[in-house]
Amino acid sequence: ANMSKLEQILILDPPTDLKFKGPFTDVVTANLKLMNPSDKRVCFKVKTTAPRRYCVRPNSGTIDPGASINISVMLQPFDYDPNEKSKHKFMVQTIFAPTTITDTEAMWKDAKPDELMDSKLRCVFELPSE
Amino acid sequence: ILSEDDFYDALSQT
């Protein structure tokens, strides 16, 4: 079940689909912009259903109030099959930053489900010709 | 949305 009750505070651009334009013989990068419209600092971390297929930089961090950051999602080369629709998904999990962050690992571990917010994105592969 | 997907921490390098 969807554990998160809080509405995602960050604005994602793109909001739902990460588009990767081939050819896929080399690394293909999609950009994901995270904007923080709130007056609080927000911690985020990126998760995916296919961790070995992508490099994500940065894959976690903190966004100041009113600030935004760009994330590079780099799809590693693979043998593209036009008939195989990508089932890869990404999740941007967020939490309002505690006043003092001593240990981010512990912060995420101890976070209660109703403090967590998340957004899911699909991956869409396109060939230049399509 | 009930999602049956398993999510893992994304890596900053493979």
Mark yes or no for CB contact B9/A47 under 8 Å: yes
What distance in Å separates the CA atoms of residue A28 and residue A125, rounded to the nearest whole number?
A: 10
Higher pLDDT, A81 or A58: A58
Strand partners, A44: A61, A94
A67-106 confidence digits (pLDDT tens)? 999 999 999 999 999 888 889 999 999 999 999 888 999 9
A33 pLDDT band, cuts 50/70/90, is very high
Query: Which of A2, A55, A90 lies closest to B1 in CB terms?
Result: A2
ipTM of the complex: 0.89
What distance in Å separates the CA atoms of residue A98 and residue A41, rounded to the nearest whole number?
A: 8
Mark yes or no for CB contact A59/B7 under 8 Å: no
Query: Which of A52, A55, A76 lies closest to B12 in CB terms?
Result: A55
So what's the pLDDT on residue A82? 86
Q: Give the number of residues written for chain B.
A: 14
